[in-house]
Amino acid sequence: MKPYLAAAIQMTSVPDLEKNLAQAEELIDLAACQGAELVGLPENFAFMGEEKEKLAQAEAIAQETEKFLLKMAQRFQITILGGGFPVPVEGGNKVYNTALLIDPNGQELLRYHKVHLFDVNVPDGNTYRESITVMAGKALPSVYMSEKLGNIGVSVCYDVRFPEIYRYMSAKGADIFFVPAAFTAFTGKDHWQILLQARAIENTCYVIAPAQTGWNYDRRQTHGHAMIVDPWGVVLADAGEKPGVAIAEINPSRLEQVRRQMPSLQHRVFL
């Protein structure tokens, strides 16, 4: 593994698949032109709207999104994560919130169904019930082992509040965690950055966190601040509050340095 650039894309997705994929393509192009080899898109990048609308269009969203990810990976010769899009559950009336990692040849490397669903009454007055339309995944995420990019683990948004999932991936050899998200503006201002830093520090791993930002639909406002955090917890790049790209170097020497200076993974008593 040599040093390389990674990108966390920040979008304001809306209830329009075509517009969202066009926005995503522009930002992927921007990231690739700056030299990014590993690129992540946020949760709900392909469609961000009412749950009933998402469910009604789920089949088309899933098909078009998978084709889009393969096309982008091959066109720009990047490894890309589609950080969360609906895939219909066979024989049911729900979807999986699915993250998909694709290599530059268009090969699927990893597929993860979000395990922790966001069923929360947020103090700003909004209520979210992801489980009404989404089926929780049953399996912990696998880790894609790569000599070129490092070992990559994938989670989605609300997962970041459950440290055991990251400890599991760490035990499987992860060097990098993806945390694509659509964090609410209310919770994000207090918790987003500190949670990402905590997951990085406690596992001495890089964290790449693509994000949604701004007003997506009706009262749905997302926090933004897509970022990349190093294994010491240093924020290397922050996309702020507008659509854009956070780009930073993933450096194996830094990873080794931090793990040498703070060998906490070697001192674990309980997994």
Q: Annotate 74-96 with b (16+ C-beta within 10 A) or e (fewer).
A: bebebbbbbbbbbbbeeeeeebb
Fold of 4-265: Nitrilase/N-carbamoyl-D-aminoacid amidohydrolase (3.60.110)
- pLDDT per residue, tens digit, the chain (271 aa), is 999 999 999 999 999 999 999 999 999 999 999 999 999 999 999 999 988 899 999 999 999 999 999 999 999 999 999 999 999 998 878 999 999 999 999 999 999 999 999 999 988 878 889 999 999 999 999 999 999 999 999 999 999 999 999 999 999 999 999 999 999 999 999 999 999 999 999 999 999 999 999 999 988 999 999 999 999 999 999 999 999 999 999 999 999 999 999 999 999 898 6
9: tokens are 């894309």
Domain ranges of the chain: 4-265
Q: Which residue has the tokens 């055991």?
A: 164
Taking a C-beta distance cutoff of 8 angstroms, is the pair 31, 39 a contact?
yes
Give residue 227's pLDDT: 98
Whole-structure pTM value: 0.97
- The residue whose two tokens read 């999986």 is 96
Burial grade of 261 (CB within 10 A; 0-12, 13-18, 19 or more): exposed
Total Cβ atoms within 10 A of residue 132: 12
pLDDT at 34: 98
Q: Which amino acid appears at position 22 of this protein?
A: A
Cβ partners under 8 Å of residue 188, min gap 6: 222, 223, 224, 225
Residues annotated catalytic, as ranges: 43, 114, 157
Residue 64, H or E segment: helix 58-76
Structure tokens at 72: 């982008």
